[in-house]
């Protein structure tokens, strides 16, 4: 927890659900103002931001699926 506090991070991500629970508990106990998220949540948030940026530059590109149907 000291390393997280020293880093100044506002978001802590992990792929391990057990670690996520422990980090949430530690942040609460130490009074840290951090958001603990699953790595998948962080990636989804980043993808949503990328889609928004792509839409600003090329609205026609957003939502297109270039994979062929099976």
pLDDT of residue 45: 82
Tens digits of residue pLDDT in 14-52: 999 999 999 999 999 999 999 999 998 888 887 766 555
Report the pLDDT value the prediction gives residue 8, as an integer from 0 to 100: 92
pLDDT(66) > 80? no
Q: What is the pTM of this model?
A: 0.63
Would you kindly state where each structural domain of the chain is located, as residue ranges? 9-58
Please tell me the distance from the alpha carbon of residue 57 to that of residue 22, in angstroms, as a whole number.
Answer: 41
Q: Is the pLDDT of residue 63 over 70?
A: no
Q: For residue 15, give Cα distances in angstroms to 11, 20, 41, 64.
A: 13, 8, 10, 29
Evaluate if residue 56 carries a pLDDT over 80. Answer: no
Report the 3 state secondary structure along the chain: CHHHHHHCCCEEEECCHHHHHHHHHHHHHHCCCCEEEEHHHHHHHHHHHHHHHHHHHCHHHCCCCCCCCC
């Amino acid at each position: 927890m000291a390393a997280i506090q020293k880093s100044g991070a506002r978001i802590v991500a992990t792929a391990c659900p057990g670690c996520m629970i422990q980090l949430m508990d530690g942040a609460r106990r130490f009074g840290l103002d951090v958001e603990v998220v699953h790595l998948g949540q962080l990636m989804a948030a980043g993808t949503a931001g990328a889609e928004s940026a792509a839409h600003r530059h090329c609205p026609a590109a957003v939502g297109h699926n270039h994979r062929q149907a099976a």
